[in-house]
Structure 1
Amino acid sequence: MSNVLILGAAGKIARLAEQQLLAETKAKLTLFLRQSQRLGTVDASRVQVIDGDATNQAQLVSAMDGQDIVYANLAGANIEEQATKVVAAMQQTDVKRLLWISTLGIYDEVPGAFGKWNHQMLDGGYLQTYAAAAKVIEASDLDYTIIRPAWLSNKDEVKFETTEKGEHFKGTEVSRKSVADLVTKLIQKPDQEIRHSIGVNKPNTAGDKPEWY
């Protein structure tokens, strides 16, 4: 049984992962977020909820006490600062395993017309800040996995394939449920994909843009 700290626990992917972890594993979850009332009722026998700010290193250090894995589902213009504080807190508490949700395109790895469209949609701060956060993670001594999803859908399906850093990204979309499933699998087998950055997409979705645009 593992103890898992989930940062940004009210996020859509995080909520799906929480449900799957409670259903399929015996893990105990610590849910860290700004406004805990957003979560509603939780199973107090397996879930602890902490109000906190991912830029507050002292709060992160306190939350990391006794944890085996940190799963960060964070977002915002200050994502690089959040990454810096998460890495520092993990180093301070000697928690090594980190799952970090990022985005496609941070290495300019998306080819062709879709890559150009992705830049048009995400340049101007988003790609740059997420790329900077990934550099902070990769420069650390942590056992990280950076997860780079394609454009996200709410489809009720688990269908995905992965690519490694240095490979061209495949596909244009992936369901949040698929990303949550990948997170759950990595928590169940934490020795996999260590110090890797993996792209995640739904197979056979190549195109100039996601189907809903």
Structure 2
Amino acid sequence: MANILVLGANGQIARLSENIFLDSTGDNLKLYLRRSDRLQDKAAAFEDRIELIDGDTTDTAKLVDSMKDIDMVYANLAGGNIEEQAHSVVDAMHQAGKNRLVWISTLGIYDEVPGKFGDWNKSTLGSYITNYAAAAKVIEDSDLDYTIIRPAWLTNKDEVDYETTQKGEAFKGTEVSRKSIAQIVVDIAQVPDKFSKESIGVNKPNTDGDKPSWY
């Protein structure tokens, strides 16, 4: 049984991962988010396993306090200040003496997406890629035991079907389900050395193309 701190706990992937944690593991969750009342019903249903924390991830002191007795930090964060948030998370983990971090990023941060899809992805996401690349560099430059997850374009399909690529390899495919990413997060919590010190691209097999199928 592990204790997991979920940052950005109301995100779509985060909520899916929380459901998997609660349904298929004995892990306990600290759910950290702004306007924590949004997850009040879930916390009430699992009051013995969920602690709600209302906070901003740029509040390093509050992050440090939230990391007491936790085994893994799972960051599902977004926003134009994602690099600042990365610095805050790393600093808090150092102060709290915590080491294992799972960080959700995006495809294209290493210019690793080939061909016409890579060109489309870069032009569509623009500065979003630049911001997430800067945040990922903060994580990689730290001494933390991190896993950076770089999903393809996300779907809401009720499936777990994925393959991975490593940093330095060309990205594959164009899409992957949010549920697949959520399952990877839960799997890492169960086997902490899974994807240790790795930045993985994640896609659904056989989804190659010039852009995601729904565009």
Q: TM-score normalised by the shorter chain: which range applies?
A: over 0.9
Aligned partner letter, 2:6: I
Name the amino acid aligned to 2:214. W
Distance 1:23 1:111 in 2: 38
Aligned with residue 195 of structure 1, among 180, 194, 197: 197
**Does 2:70 align with 1:67?**
yes
Distance of 2:194 and 2:175 partners within structure 1: 24
Letter of the aligned partner of 1:91 in structure 2?
H
From 128, 133, 136, the counterpart of 2:135: 133
State how 1:178-193 maps to structure 2 within 5 Å.
178-193=180-195
Please say which of residues 34-43 and 16-25 is displaced more in the overlay: 34-43
How far apart, in 2, do the equivalents of 1:184 and 1:202 lie? Answer: 18
How far residue 192 of structure 1 moved from its aligned partner, in angstroms, is 1.3
- CA drift at 1:66: 1.0
Question: SS state of the match for residue 40, structure 1?
Answer: helix
**Identity, % of aligned pairs?**
63
Q: Deviations over 1:99-125 (max 9, x none)?
A: 0000000000000000000001011x2
Distance in 1 between residues matched to 2:109 and 2:10, nearest whole Å: 24
- The answer to whether the aligner puts 1:211 opposite 2:209 as a matched pair is no
**Which residue of structure 2 lines up, in the alignment, with residue 152 of structure 1?**
154
Q: 2:86 is matched by which residue type in structure 1?
A: A
Query: Match for residue 10 of structure 1?
Result: 10
Letter in 2 for 1:153: T
In 2, the alpha carbon distance for the partners of 1:40 and 1:149 equals 28
Do structure 1's residue 29 and structure 2's residue 29 form an aligned pair? yes
Q: TM-score under structure 2 normalisation?
A: 0.98
* Structure 1 counterpart of 2:90, one-letter code: V
- Residues in 2 aligned to 1:211 and 1:92: alpha-carbon distance in whole angstroms: 44
Please list the CA deviations of residues 42-76 of structure 1 after superposition, one character each: whole Å capped at 9, or x if unmatched: 21100000000000101100101111100000000
Q: What secondary structure is seen at the aligned counterpart in 2 of 1:6?
A: strand
Q: Note the aligned Cα RMSD (angstroms).
A: 0.6
Q: CA deviation at 1:40?
A: 3.2
Q: Which residue of 1 aligns with 2:58?
A: 55
CA–CA separation in structure 2 for the residues paired with 1:23 and 1:157:
16
Deviations 1:99-158 (A, max 9, x none): 0000000000000000000001011x2000000000000000000000000000111111
**Equivalent position to 1:89, from 87, 92, 113:** 92
Post-superposition shift, 1:193? 1.0
- TM-score after normalising by structure 1: 0.99
Letter in 2 for 1:22: L
Q: Per-residue deviation at 1:175?
A: 0.5
The alpha-carbon deviation at position 171 of structure 1 amounts to: 0.2
Structure 2 unaligned spans of 5+: none
Aligned position for 2:20? 20
Tell me the CA shift for residue 37 of structure 1: 1.2
* Alignment coverage as a number of residue pairs: 212
Using the alignment, how far apart are the partners of 2:111 and 2:156 within structure 1? 25
Moved over 6 A (4+): none
Q: What SS does the corresponding residue of 2:206 show, helix, strand or coil?
A: coil
